[in-house]
C-alpha cells in the first residue's frame, strides 16, 4: 500500500479501527430507522444510477488494502473499470459504480465507504432516488464529520477519483503524516473537485434523498 514506515502502518491500523467503530456506531443508532427499509440484496439501484460515491482518503486506503490482495487479472480489470468510471464522471454521466459486479453485488462490501452504508429507502427507488428519515440523515452527517476529523490531512470526493489520488505514491506516503502540500497536487485536486479537509465539507455524495416520516413507527 506504500505506507513504508512502522509508525505510518501503526497510524493506519489505529485509524482503520476507529473508522470501523464509527461505522458500527452509525448502524446501532440508525437501526430503528433502517429496519423499515425496503432494500434487498440484488436491488443495487443506489449503486447503478450513481452521481457520486463519496469517500475520504482514509476510506480509500482501507479499500486499496483489500483490492491489492486480488489477483493480477482482477486488478487489471478493476483498473480498467475505474478508469472508465472516472471518464464518465468527468463527463457528468450517471454511471454504474465500478465495484458493482454482474450479480449486482458489491465487490468491496466489507470495506465500502460510509456514503454507501448510510443509504436505505422507505420505498422502491425506481430511478427516483431514496426516501429516508430526516433523523437518519442528521446522524449520517454527524458521522461523516467525524470521519473527516479522523482524516484531518486527507481529502474527500468521488471514490474512483480518491483512489486515483492515492495512486500518487508521494501523496500516499505523506497523507497520514500530514506532510503533503496542496500546491503539489493542485492539478488532480482541481480536476476532480476534491475537498481538502483542512477546510471545507466532505466531498462527493450519492444523489440527495427525499425525506420520509420523522420518527420510526
Ligand atoms: S462501493 Fe459498493 S455499495 Fe458503494 S456504490 Fe459501489 S457497489 Fe454500491
Strand (E) or helix (H) holding 19? helix 6-34
Q: Which residues line ligand 1 (CB under 6 A)?
A: 47, 50, 53, 97, 99-100, 106, 108, 112, 116
* Cβ atoms of 60 and 163 closer than 8 Å: yes
- Residue with CA at minimum distance from ligand 1 atom 4: 116
Neighbouring residues of 36: CB distance < 8 A, sequence distance ≥ 6: 122, 216, 217
Q: Which residues pair with 50 in a beta bridge?
A: 95
Question: How many C-beta atoms surround the C-beta of residue 103 within 10 A?
Answer: 8
Q: What's the chain's length in residues?
A: 217
Which residue has 434487498 as its cell numbers? Answer: 40
Task: Answer whether residue 167 shows pLDDT above 50.
Answer: yes
Summarize pLDDT for 35-67 with one digit per residue, the tens. Answer: 999 998 888 888 987 678 999 999 999 999 999
Give the model confidence (pLDDT) of 66-124 as tens digits.
Answer: 999 999 999 999 999 999 999 999 998 888 999 999 999 999 999 999 999 999 999 98
Cell numbers for 163: 483512489
Q: 90 CA to middle of ligand 1, Å?
A: 19
For the chain, the helix, strand and coil percentages under 3-state DSSP, each to the nearest 5: 50, 10, 40
DSSP 26-63: HHHHHHHHHTT----TT--HHHHSBS--EEEHHHHHHH
Q: Are 63 and 115 in contact (CB under 8 A)?
A: no
Alpha helices in 91-183 (DSSP H): 114-117, 134-150, 159-166, 169-175
Q: Which atom of ligand 1 is nearest to the CA of 159?
A: 1
Q: Over 60: is that where the pLDDT of 201 sits?
A: no
Is the pLDDT score of 130 beyond 80?
A: yes
Work out the pLDDT band at 178, boundaries 50, 70, 90.
confident
Residue 209 above 60 pLDDT?
A: no
Report the atom number in ligand 1 closest to the C-alpha of 119. 3
Nearest ligand 1 atom to the CA of 50 is: 5
Predicted local confidence at residue 199, as pLDDT? 53
CA pseudo-torsion sign 150, 152, 155, 156: positive
CB atoms within 10 A of CB 185: 18
Q: Please state, for a pLDDT cut of 90, what percent of the chain lies above it.
A: 64
Q: Which residues pair with 211 in a beta bridge?
A: 132
Mean predicted confidence (pLDDT) in 203-217: 51
Amino acid at each position: 500500500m506504500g505506507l513504508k514506515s512502522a509508525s505510518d502502518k501503526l497510524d493506519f491500523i489505529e485509524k482503520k479501527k476507529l473508522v470501523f467503530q464509527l461505522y458500527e456506531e452509525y448502524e446501532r443508532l440508525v437501526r430503528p430507522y433502517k429496519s423499515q427499509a425496503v432494500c434487498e440484496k440484488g436491488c443495487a439501484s443506489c449503486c447503478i444510477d450513481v452521481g457520486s460515491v463519496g469517500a475520504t482518503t482514509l476510506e480509500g486506503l482501507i479499500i486499496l488494502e483489500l483490492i491489492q490482495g486480488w489477483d493480477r487479472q482482477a486488478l487489471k480489470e478493476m483498473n480498467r473499470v475505474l478508469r472508465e468510471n472516472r471518464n464518465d464522471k468527468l463527463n457528468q454521466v450517471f454511471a454504474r459504480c465500478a465495484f458493482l459486479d454482474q450479480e449486482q453485488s458489491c465487490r468491496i462490501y466489507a470495506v465500502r465507504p460510509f456514503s454507501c452504508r448510510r443509504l436505505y429507502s422507505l420505498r422502491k427507488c425506481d430511478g427516483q432516488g431514496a426516501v429516508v428519515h430526516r433523523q437518519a440523515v442528521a446522524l449520517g452527517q454527524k458521522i461523516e464529520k467525524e470521519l473527516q476529523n479522523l482524516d484531518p490531512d486527507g481529502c474527500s470526493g468521488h471514490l474512483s477519483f480518491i483512489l486515483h489520488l492515492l495512486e500518487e505514491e508521494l501523496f500516499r506516503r505523506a497523507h497520514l503524516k500530514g506532510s503533503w502540500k496542496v500546491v503539489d497536487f493542485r492539478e488532480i485536486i482541481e480536476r476532480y473537485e476534491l475537498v481538502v479537509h483542512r477546510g471545507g465539507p466532505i466531498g462527493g455524495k450519492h444523489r440527495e434523498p427525499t425525506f420520509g416520516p420523522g420518527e420510526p413507527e
